[in-house]
Copies of this chain bind each other. A is one copy, B any other.
């Protein structure tokens, strides 16, 4: 797996059960996966020679992020390395313009959008005074590379930086959802229950599985749409389709990710097969695993880097385990930086209201070491 972050770290856990050992290409020995995987290579994912050396002896090479240049993936594939997902598929997770164009061609519902090369493009797209969303076509994540503009002139500094941009309507939201599917080279697909994702400042903070109160037909339609995208784009591995649900109950595709995804962390305990094992099964062309949930309600909350003063993480974990012995904690071994995802907590049960409180209290406690964790 190219990339040594938490996704590779958790994929390594899944690989162990399958009798495999994940080889990881990390940029630093301190990367989350590099700390725990026996077979870690240090190198840059933008360096073709490093990638080539890394790939030697691998059955298949896959990715924990979208930042490997397509040209490098193509080069290695041409040299006989099995790279999954392929550069052709991954392009739609790497470039928002390519993704929007392709999904529009396929008739998949997306927000109204267009490419932007000048302020004039924005003026002709948006009514003056109504907000629109400008995004860089590549490299954005966790709210970076996304700007809500109320005046087309606000785009000028972005254009002056030479950024490749698209503009989209600011979709009125009921909430955000995510549909995850997996697809193997053989062509088998498997769909997980559709989940609700809760964002704060552009960062996913909470996932509810399955999405509470979601109309069954809408859930089924979202799963079918995700399967169709996986098939049409020839995705191999897991595919997370981030969705907007509008107040009228329509669903629009926001983003695609072709790797294990934050919206699927709940599957580690909450589904019979985790997204990490499913991704491995898919890229290794094993038959896929059951996606059946293991509990009626599952809530995952991200632990973001917060206060670094006061008690250390070890002491925080200690108190959390005392207060909530059923909380499932996953820590990524990363240095704490404010707002950085350093772990997550999953709780399982019957009732979303209780679970959301438990998950939020646990995540906040691990972030900051304060709040009320004992009732």
Contacts and interface: CB of A to CB of B under 8 A. Distances in A.
A328 B14 CA distance: 11
A321 B286 contact: yes
Given A287-B321, A318-B286, A326-B292, A35 B21 contact: yes
Contacts of A158: none
A331 B19 contact: yes
A106 interface: no
A40 B34 CA distance: 13
A15 B10 CA distance: 11
Contacts of A295: 294
A363 B290 CA distance: 18
Contacts of A281: 321
Nearest to A40: B38
Contacts of A290: 325-326
Nearest to A268: B17
A302 to B, nearest CB: 14
B21 A16 contact: no
A194 interface: no
Contacts of A35: 21, 38
What class of interface size applies to chain A in its complex with B? Answer: 35 or more
A178 B68 CA distance: 50
Interface string A325-360: 110111111000000000100001000000000000
> How many copies of this chain are found per oligomer?
2
A324 to B, nearest CB: 9
Interface in A29-65: 34-38, 40
Contact of A294 (B294, B321, B322): B294
A261 interface: no
B17 A36 contact: no
Contacts of A289: 321, 325-326
Contact of A17 (B13, B16, B17, B40): B13
A48 B329 CA distance: 35
Nearest to A22: B36
A288 interface: yes
Given A13-B13, A294-B294, A329 B18 contact: yes
B288 A325 contact: yes
A181 B316 CA distance: 25
A21 B36 contact: yes
A317 interface: yes
B333 A286 contact: no
A35 B37 CA distance: 9
A361 to B, nearest CB: 16
A144 interface: no
A287 B16 contact: no
Given A19-B332, A272-B326, 6 more contacts: A9-B16, A19-B331, A21-B36, A36-B38, A272-B328, A290-B326
Interface of A: 9-10, 12-13, 15-21, 34-38, 40, 272-273, 281, 286-290, 292, 294-295, 313, 317-318, 321-322, 325-326, 328-333, 343, 348
The 3 closest A-B pairs by CB, nearest first: A19-B331, A287-B321, A287-B322
